[in-house]
Structures are given as structure tokens and as C-alpha cells.
Structure 1
Amino acid sequence: MKVVPLSPQTLVDELVGRIDALPRTTWARVLVDGALPTRPGELADTLVEPLRALGRPVLRVSAWDFLRPASVRLEYGHEDPDSFRDSWLDVGGLLREVLEPLDPGGSGRVLPALWNAATDRAHRADYVALGAGGVLLVDGTVLLDKWLPAELTAHLWLSPGALDRQMPDEWRWTLPAYASYEPRADVTVRYDHPARPALVGKVD
């Protein structure tokens, strides 16, 4: 398997190029997935302006704004790795409010945030209409084993050692959730060192 070293900017350019190559006749749903230490939301953020510069409308959504209410999410305690992996995310809500409206022939109306986990209350976000040829960028963790529809998926991969070293203390209880997580992504990036990412596979 070929591994191609990249700079952070080249990684952004590579992802932007792949996204912009997707048809403009419909919407492009892009999932950026990675373990907590990889901060996939930060990478997703860097894609916004380059895509807009290419004439693509862009909407950013975080899966963290689609967690279930605490009464459901924390049913088995605050530090249950199985719940973290399998039942924290409101998959139905993310599908209904974000991903399915961007199916071919969909309404294009997306609710960018559903639930505020910090306050344990519903967000007061308004629906947003994503224009023709628009790109939806969704970041999150353990997203790619939930059969979520997407035109492009990217996974920031950490070796087990790097994951263990880099996991913040308050989240170390989640480590078992990643032990058997084997996502299939269109783009896999080795991310042990964010300043020196590497693309797995051939650069188009």
C-alpha cells in the first residue's frame, strides 16, 4: 500500500480537489472522521474557504450538534465506551435533518444543529437552504460505520500508540471504543503527526 507524505496545505489542496471534482448537478456530502485527538473539525474548517473560492456553496455541520439527550446518551453512565461508539450520536436526526434532504431530488433544506449537549437543550438553529452544487462538510468521530450517505468520506487515522499518547485525559475512557473501529473511507490520511500527514494510496 502506497503512502504519500503531504504537507498540511497539500492535504487541504488534495481534499478540495477531490470534492470539487464531484458533480455540481447535485449536492456533495462530505464526512470528515477521526478520533478525538485528530480534531477532524479543524480540518473540515480549512476546506470551507477554498471551496467557496471555487464557486461552491458550503455548509459546515458538526456531528457533536446531533448527540442524543443526556437521559439517553448517558443511560449506562458518563464513561461507557460502548455507548460512546454506538448510541451517543442521534443517527436518525442527522439523517433526517442533514443528510437525506441532500439526496438527489431532496429539498436542500438542512438544519445545521439539533441538540446542544452542553445545555442539554434543543438548538434554536434555523433551516438553511444549500445552493445548487453545494458542499456539506460534516465532522465527527466514529462516523464511518453507521451507513451514513455521503459522496466523499475522509478518515484521519492514528496508530494505536499515537492514539493512546494523544488522547486527552478526560477522554481516555473512550479508547476501547476505537479498538475495533475499522472505517472504510474514500480517503485515509495517516495523522500521527498533523504537521506531516500522509495519504494512503495513490494521489490522483
Structure 2
Amino acid sequence: MSKRADLLARIARTVAELAPDRIVRVAIDGVDGAGKTTFANELAGVMVDFGRPVIRASVDGFHNRRAIRYAKGRQSPIGFFEDSYNYALLKQYLLEPLSPGGNRRYCIASFDHVTDKPVDLVEREASSNSILLLDGIFLHRPELRPYWEASIFLRVDFPVSVARNAVRDGISPDPADGANRRYVEGQRIYLSKCAPEDYATIIIDNNDLAEPALVKKCW
């Protein structure tokens, strides 16, 4: 078994053992390019072996309208940090229904940021012992932290994460390039203001995708 597969299996087992009789909400956080979506998808695949239903979602399904996202300017780091997502709808459609006392009827997306239009809401009903794996940036903001029974932060250096984004999105691989300022500096604001590593229950160094390293586990 590879080091990555072994780590995923260990985390999947730990998460699957949390609160077996109720819904567990898990955040997979990290800067853009940290590998959150891939990690969450792989973790979901491994968790099938532990007998609990998995709900996969991304905060990217809850973007704000373009006019709101860029209201402070298209290059604004603070605008990126403050205005990218509609947290009210994230809570209304996904997090609150899956919270203790919620009705378990949830939607995994409300908006398509590519078309800049709302999507048709598709309501599903969660099993009472489901595990939500939600990936995205900024998930350790103070208003979101109370929702997580567990949270994972993928630690990746900016030169590595921006280089990954360059391959994915065709942008400059240089974190200091002006085209990256909004995103890199916006995420620096998040790291400074919200200190996600202080609150994450698991920290993984994900600079090397083949050999991620467990840095912290608070169980």
C-alpha cells in the first residue's frame, strides 16, 4: 500500500468511527491548489469500505454572483476573501439540514459561477448516519467552524499550489505574478485572520501528492 493510500485509510477509519448514529460533517480545507477536491474524492472512495453513506459537496457550489464577487475590484484580495461565497445559502441548503435537529433534506449546490446563474435546486435526503465531506477554501472561518465534527487542513506552500493551478487553469506559476495577487494575497488574509491550522483536527502536509505527511491529529 502506498503512503497516500495508507494515510487515506487511516483517516477514513477515524472519521467513520465518529458518532456512528448521527450525521458527521467534515471540512477539507486548504489554499487553492492544495489538492482538496482530489483528497476528498479519494477519501470518499475509501470510506465506502466502512459502511457509512458519504455525501460529497464543495463550497464552489455556493459562489456569490459575479457582481458581488468583484464588487471591491477584480484584483482585490480582500474581495476574494470576503465576497467569494454565499455562506447564508451554504448554511441554509447544506449545513443546517445536516446539523443535529436538521431535517436531513439538503442540496449540494445553489449557484453556477461559470454561467453566473442560480442552479435548479436538487433536494436529497441524507441517511441518519451519513458523513458529509465538504471541500473548499476558507472553511475555518469563525462562522463555519461550529459545523464541523472534524476538519482537515491540507498544508501546501504557495509556490507548489500556484504551480498546480498553473497546470490546471493556464495561469502564471509565479505566486508574485500580478495575475495571482487576488488569490494568493486573499488566502494570506485568510491564513492570518482565521488561523485554520489552530482549529483543524487533522493537518496534512500535501506538498508531495505521492507522500502526504500527517502533521497533526487531535483525537
- Name the structure 1 match of 2:212: 197
Confirm or deny: 8 A CA contact 2:204 2:216 kept in the other structure.
no
Task: Give the structure 2 partner of residue 99 of structure 1.
Answer: 95
Instruction: Name the CA shift for 1:116/1:202 in 2 (closer, same or farther; >3 Å).
Output: closer
Paired residues in the alignment total: 199
CA RMSD, 1 decimal: 2.0
AA partner of residue 160 (structure 2): A
Write the deviation string for residues 32-70 of structure 1: whole angstroms up to 9, x where unpaired.
011111120111111223222322111111100101111
TM-score, length basis structure 1: 0.89
Structure 2 CA distance, aligned partners of 1:90 and 1:75?
14
1:79 counterpart (47, 65, 75): 75
How many Å apart are 1:164 and its aligned residue? 5.4
Query: Against the structure 1 CA distance between its residues 202 and 67, is the aligned structure 2 distance closer, same or farther, given a 3 Å change threshold?
Result: closer
Alignment-mate amino acid for residue 172 of structure 1: N
Match of 1:188 among 190, 197, 203: 203
Q: Render the CA deviation track for 1:59-115: whole Å, top value 9, x for unaligned.
A: 111100101111111112222211111221111111111111111121011111100
Aligned pairs for 1:38-49 (under 5 A) are: 38-49=34-45
Rounded to whole Å, the distance in 2 between the matches of 1:165 and 1:127 is: 37
Q: Is the 8 A contact 1:65 1:114 kept in 2?
A: yes
Distance in 2, matches of 1:57 and 1:66, equals 23
Q: Does 1:53 align with 2:44?
A: no
Q: 2:187 aligns with which of 173, 178, 189?
A: 178
Once the two structures are superposed, the pairs formed by residues 101-120 of structure 1 within 5 Å of their partners are 101-120=97-116
Q: Which residue of 1 aligns with 2:155?
A: 157
Partners of 2:125 and 2:14 in 1: CA distance: 23
Q: CA deviation at 1:165?
A: 4.8
TM-score, normalised via structure 2 length: 0.83
Residues 35, 206 of structure 2: 8 Å contact kept? no
Q: List aligned pairs for 1:126-145, cutoff 5 A.
A: 126-145=122-141
Q: Which moved more, 1:158-167 or 1:117-126?
A: 158-167
3-state SS of 2:84 partner? coil
Identity %: 24
Of the two structures, which has the highest relative contact order with CA contacts closer than 8 Å and spacing of 6 or more?
1
For 1:112, the aligned partner's letter is: I
CA distance in 2, matches of 1:106, 1:154: 23
Cα shift at 1:161: 4.6
Q: Which structure shows the higher helix fraction? A: 2
The runs of 4+ residues in structure 1 deviating greater than 4 Å are 163-167
Return 155-164 or 26-35, whichever deviates more. 155-164
Indicate conservation of the 8 Å contact 1:81/1:177, yes or no.
Answer: yes
Shift of 1:187: 0.4
Q: CA deviation at 1:143?
A: 1.5
Q: Larger deviation: 175-184 or 147-156?
A: 175-184
Inter-CA distance 199–35: structure 2 relative to 1 (3 Å threshold): same
* Distance of aligned partners of 1:131 and 1:71 in 2 relative to their CA distance in 1, 3 Å threshold: same
